[in-house]
Amino acid sequence: MLTVEDLYVNYGTLQIIQGVSMKIEDGEMISLVGSNGAGKTTLLKTISGLKKPESGKIIWDGEDITTLSPDKIVARGIVQVPEGRKLFPQMTVQENLELGSFLKEAKKKRKDTLEYVYEMLPDLQKKAKMPAGSLSGGQQQMVAIGRGMMACPKVLIFDEPSIGLSPLLTDIMFEIIRKIKDSGTTVMLVEQNVQNALRMADRGYVLEQGHIAMEGKASDLLENEELKKSYLGI
């Protein structure tokens, strides 16, 4: 179980995350939604150890991981498919995937995981030898997801994976995320595409200006009048 306890994160003097608490049970899928600049990415960066919080804690399986370095957090199985993909564009698709299993434990299973990723994302196998930067936006997003899977994650965190994708591709991509969840991986999905994200999730959190404005069962949130008005335009 991953828990975030009363987290505060600043950029300089600007308070971006202001007392966020949340928890993700093993095997669960949660969606974190919120508008531009709400602080979603900042929260994820803090979970991954890229950014240190002012106060608060991040606990994974009973261990305080708040001050661990990013590589230690990845080694624990908490892995991110980052906003904007952050691929290595001049390297081939396969090299990108392989770097997903850079750390020791994942490297041992590299061959098998790669086979599994190619099975799940067959388009990538066809493009294996092409530079990742030469692929279309949708395909690049698939590479980023595949790269995250290569780390053998226990929790896979997606930061706005649907951004810039056509509706058709968005559906395909959400379907892949659902498969990843069904395979037993815990999933945290950050999205602005509120409806899609909540439909798939078990539970949801709404982040507004650095604090949790709403939380609950995803199906309840989808029915919530306030949320409908501000995020779904209904």
Partner 1 sequence: MAVSITQSLIDGLLMGGVYALAALGVSLIFGVMKITNFAHGALITVGMFVAYFMFAQLGVSPYVSLPITILVMFLLGYGIQKLTINPIITAPSHNQLLLTQGLSIVLENLLLVLFTANYKSISLPGFDKAIKFGALSINKPKLIAFGLVVLASLGVYLLLQKTDIGHAISATSVQREGATLMGIKVERINAIAFGIGVACAGVAGALLAPIQYISPTVGEGFQLKCFVIAVFGGLGNIWGAVVAGLIIGVVESVASLALGGSWSEMVIYLIFILVLLFKPTGLFGKKTR
Stretch that binds partner 1, among 73-81, 116-124, 187-195, 220-228 (CB under 8 A): 73-81
Q: Tell me which of partner 1, ligand ATP, Mg ion, none is bound by residue 70, counting a contact when its beta carbon lies within the kind-specific cut-off of 5 to 8 angstroms.
A: partner 1
* Residue 130 binding partner 1, by CB under 8 A: no
| Beta strand spans in the chain (E) | 2-11, 14-24, 29-33, 55-60, 63-64, 78-81, 155-159, 186-191, 203-208, 211-217
The pair of three-digit structure tokens given for residue 114, joined into one six-digit string: 């790669």
Q: Is 41 in the site for Mg ion (CB under 5 A)?
A: yes
Q: Rule CB under 8 A: say whether 87 interacts with partner 1.
A: yes
Distance CA 74, CA 79 (A): 5
Instruction: Kindly state whether residue 161 participates in binding ligand ATP, applying the rule CB under 6 A.
Output: no
- Distance in angstroms (rounded) separating the CA atoms of residues 199 and 222: 8
Least distance in angstroms from the C-beta of 187 to ligand ATP? 18
91 Cα distance to chain centroid: 23
At position 42, the amino acid (one-letter code) is T
Taking the C-alpha atoms of residue 164 and residue 153, their distance in angstroms, rounded to an integer, is 25
- Which of 42, 96, 140, 141 lies at the binding interface for ligand ATP (CB under 6 A)? 42
User: Which one among 5, 15, 57, 88 touches partner 1, defined by CB under 8 A?
Assistant: 88
d(CA 218, CA 201): 6
Site membership for partner 1, residue 163 (CB under 8 A): no
Q: Which amino acid is at 150?
A: M
Among 23, 57, 107, 154, binds partner 1 (CB under 8 A): 107
| Closer residue to partner 1, CB minimum distance, 51 or 203 | 51
Binder of ligand ATP out of 24, 29, 34, 127 (CB under 6 A):
34
Q: How far does Cα 136 stand from its chain's mean position? A: 21
Which of 1, 11, 55, 166 forms a contact with ligand ATP (CB under 6 A)?
11
Q: Does 139 bind ligand ATP (CB under 6 A)?
A: no
The footprint of Mg ion (CB under 5 A) covers 40-41, 83
